[in-house]
Each structure stands twice: as structure tokens, then as C-alpha cells.
Amino acid sequence: MFSVQLDENNIVVGVMSFAPQVPNQIAVQAFDDSLIGKQYINGQFTEPEPANNE
């Protein structure tokens, strides 16, 4: 089992080769480092929205 670690904005900041162990980690099917930088929303990994720095 593999997992990804999410930051406070649900952005993937790491991929691990073990099952989720803390609340900010979720299980994934494969070790896929292309997920780093993606945002996890409603069960899907997407490109994050650009920050609105007004």
C-alpha cells in the first residue's frame, strides 16, 4: 500500500511506500511521484488553482 501526504491546502507534498498513518495522509494505488504538487479535492487529484494575491 502507498500513501500521499497533504499540506493544509490539500496539496500533495510527499509520496510514501506505506499505508496512511496520520490524518493528512491518504491511500493511493501506486507510488506515483507525479502527484506531488497536485491538489486533492473530492477524491480527485487536480492542478491547484493559482493563488489570488489581490
Residue 49: per-residue pLDDT: 80
> Where in the sequence is the domain holding 35, given as residue range(s)?
2-46
Stretch 6-25: mean pLDDT? 97
Is 28 contained in some domain? yes
At a CB cut-off of 8 Å and minimum separation 6, what does 37 contact? 11, 12, 48
Between the alpha carbon of residue 21 and those of residues 12, 28, 44, 53, the distances in Å are 15, 13, 20, 34
Residue 29 lies in a domain: yes
The reported pLDDT for the residue numbered 54 is 59
Cβ–Cβ < 8 Å for 12, 36 = yes
Percentage of the residues of the chain whose pLDDT score is greater than 90: 89
With respect to residue 34, please indicate whether it lies within any of the assigned structural domains.
yes
The answer to whether position 51 is within a domain reads no
Q: Is the dihedral of CA 4, 7, 12, 16 positive or negative?
A: negative
